[in-house]
């Protein structure tokens, strides 16, 4: 009986976790106000990450979290620091043709349904460790 309950609770938690938001790897090309222009990315035959498909325009939520992802070698985990200025940061204004590699989360429900709620950029790190 207890086993069934634990299994059912685990399945329910996993279902809600996956239904809460969609996470995409993207390249952001421009930000105009709260409109973000991006392309989804995929791995090509050589294993290199490339932009795939047409430009997509998404709307950022009013309380969007914008951060720079990094790796903490001492703690052996990823760290994220808030990006100064949020969507107005010069990283987005100078994206150009290459764009900015990022991971975005789009809410699947609630007040922000269909809006970008989190942007984690992968740019700005030092090569060779810090």
Q: What is the mean pLDDT of residues 81-92?
A: 90
Residue 114: inside a domain: yes
Span 29-63, pLDDT tens digits: 999 999 999 999 888 888 888 888 899 999 999 99
pLDDT of residue 13: 61
Nearest CA to 95 out of 19, 15, 29, 4 is that of 29
Residue 112: inside a domain: yes
User: What does pLDDT average to over the chain?
Assistant: 81
3-state secondary structure of 8: helix
Tokens of residue 23, six digits: 């996470």
Spatial distance between the Cα atoms of 106 and 111, rounded to a whole number of angstroms = 12
Spatial distance between the Cα atoms of 126 and 81, rounded to a whole number of angstroms = 15
pLDDT of residue 80: 81
Query: Which domain covers residue 69, as residue numbers?
Result: 21-121
Residue 54: inside a domain: yes
Considering the entire predicted model, what is its pTM?
0.73
Beta-strand (E) ranges in the chain? 21-32, 35-43, 49-72, 77-82, 100-107, 116-121
| Number of domains into which the chain is organized | 1
Residue 91: inside a domain: yes
pLDDT tops 80 at residue 64: yes
Residue 37: inside a domain: yes
pLDDT of residue 129: 41
Binned at pLDDT 50, 70 and 90, residue 81 comes out as: confident
Spatial distance between the Cα atoms of 81 and 120, rounded to a whole number of angstroms = 9
Residue 14: inside a domain: no
Residue 57: inside a domain: yes
Residue 13: inside a domain: no
């Amino acid at each position: 009986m207890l086993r069934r309950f634990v299994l059912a609770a685990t399945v329910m938690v996993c279902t809600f976790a996956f239904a809460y938001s969609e996470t995409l790897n993207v390249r952001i090309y421009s930000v105009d106000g709260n409109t973000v222009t991006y392309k989804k990315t995929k791995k090509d035959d050589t294993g290199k990450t490339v932009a795939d498909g047409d430009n997509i325009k998404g709307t950022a939520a009013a309380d969007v979290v914008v951060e720079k992802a990094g790796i903490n070698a001492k703690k052996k985990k990823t760290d994220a620091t808030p990006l100064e200025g949020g969507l107005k940061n010069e990283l987005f204004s100078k994206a150009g043709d290459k764009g900015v590699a990022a991971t975005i989360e789009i809410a699947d429900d609630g007040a922000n349904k269909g809006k970008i709620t989190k942007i984690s950029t992968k740019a700005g790190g030092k090569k060779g460790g810090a």
